[in-house]
Amino acid sequence: MSITMHTGPNAAPTAVSSLAMRLLTLCYGGLAYLIFFGTFLYAVGFVSGYVVPKTVDKTVDTGSTSSLTTALLINLVVMSIFAVQHSGMARQGFKRLFTRFASPAIERSTYVLLASLTLILLYWQWRPMPAVVWNIENPALAGLATTGGFLGWLIVLYSTFLISHFELFGLTQVVTHFAGRVAEPMKFKTPGLYRLIRHPIYLGFIIAFWSTPTMTLGHLLFAAVTTAYIFVGIYLEERDLVALFGSEYRRYREKVAMLVPGIF
């Protein structure tokens, strides 16, 4: 069901798009953003092992434990569900299909909402695999690894603001729609860290996932699979960026490293 009447993805909302519908769209986008932000904060606790009850390393004690094979299979399935949703819905083809049936104003919020729900499924169904792969005993080095992990999360959050945090998570689109205007198409930007590397958000995730004083088998699986997925995501994202921005993005790719400044 279409929430507003549009004659195309960039058309202005018509009179049929009543105030009530625009308000509903705004609430939907606002709720999707709040769920995303809660899910993001939980991710910090889930990976770093602080504050939240269930983490990548330990679960709330229910008395039942899974075998290593069951844990491995379930963890791979929940990570795959996240990856398929995340990459599938990010493609231009999916976006075109979506906006044939629903307002473009809620396309990004819907993406963010479903990504958050698949992450919540992952937190819920994740089976810790507690065997220790490494444990840094030197307190100074352990502290450095913990600090590195939090630095990774800060890089992620900071970089979202560099390329427009509220647009990335759908709020700009629903607020603009509520004001009766059409959101500008996404612009290609290279501020701050984006002048050094093309994917600071993904670099932040990689640092956050790997930088830990104690690496369990489950955490290692999580870090390795998500890192591999990030490389697939980069390939797909850059293909779309080249299609959208052409030679501008190609030149940027020639000049600026992918993840490590000056190296690759």
| CA–CA distance, 98 with 94 (Å, rounded to integer) | 6
Task: Establish if 201 lies at the interface with ligand SAM (CB under 6 A).
Answer: yes
| CA–CA distance, 263 with 35 (Å, rounded to integer) | 37
Find the binder of ligand SAM among 17, 75, 159, 172 (CB under 6 A). 159
Three-state DSSP state, 130: coil
Distance of CA 61 to the CA centre of its chain: 29
Nearer to ligand SAM among residue 50 and residue 161 (C-beta): 161
Task: Establish if 167 lies at the interface with ligand SAM (CB under 6 A).
Answer: no
The two counts, helices (H) then strands (E), for the chain are 10, 2
Site for ligand SAM in 176-195 (CB under 6 A): 186, 188-190, 194
Task: Give the relative orientation of helices 19-48 and 139-162 as an angle to the nearest 10 degrees.
Answer: 160
Residue 222-251 contact track with ligand SAM, rule CB under 6 A, x = bound: ---------------x---x----------
Nearer to ligand SAM among residue 42 and residue 127 (C-beta): 42
Specify the stretch interacting with ligand SAM by CB under 6 A; choose among 42-50, 139-147, 197-205, 212-220: 197-205
Q: Which two tokens stand for residue 71?
A: 């844990």
Find the binder of ligand SAM among 13, 149, 152, 200 (CB under 6 A). 200
Find the binder of ligand SAM among 43, 44, 163, 220 (CB under 6 A). 163
Nearer to ligand SAM among residue 71 and residue 241 (C-beta): 241
Q: How far is the CB of 262 from ligand SAM (least distance, A)?
A: 17
Q: Which two tokens stand for residue 247?
A: 């030679």
Specify the stretch interacting with ligand SAM by CB under 6 A; choose among 5-13, 29-37, 174-182, 199-207: 199-207
Nearer to ligand SAM among residue 75 and residue 159 (C-beta): 159
Looking at residue 197, the DSSP 8-state letter turns out to be B
Distance of CA 150 to the CA centre of its chain: 17
| CA–CA distance, 138 with 2 (Å, rounded to integer) | 58
Nearer to ligand SAM among residue 21 and residue 241 (C-beta): 241
Count Cβ atoms below 10 Å from residue 244 Cβ, excluding itself.
13
The amino acid sitting at 100 is R
Only one residue has tokens 């939907």, namely: 28
Binding site for ligand SAM (CB under 6 A): 159, 163, 186, 188-190, 194, 199-202, 237, 241
